A = this chain, B = another copy of it.
């Protein structure tokens, strides 16, 4: 079996999902942002964004900090070091495949 193909079948599914790939790619560029920023950039529904973020958190790829902007709740997101690494690996896998 061909090496390029093996790379495809070994892609990280957590990152591979387009919704989450968008999130992770965005976070990789900004080092921190809030929920509403992601909501606006990705055009996902709130529920969707929330569950994808929870999944990324569970995977250890994203840190979720709940805080306030004045009296209004605000959720801050950051890519963790493992998250960064997972994205890099994913990129490498893709590039190897194509």
Contact = CB atoms under 8 A, between A and B. Distances in A.
Chain copies in complex: 2
Interface stretch (A5-13, A53-61, A64-72): A5-13
Contacts of A8: 18, 21-22, 25
B11 A43 contact: no
Interface residues of A, number: 24
Contacts of A18: 8-9, 11, 13, 16
B98 A5 contact: no
Contacts of A95: 98
A9 B4 CA distance: 24
Most B CB contacts (10 A, CB to CB) among A1, A5, A43, A94 go to: A5
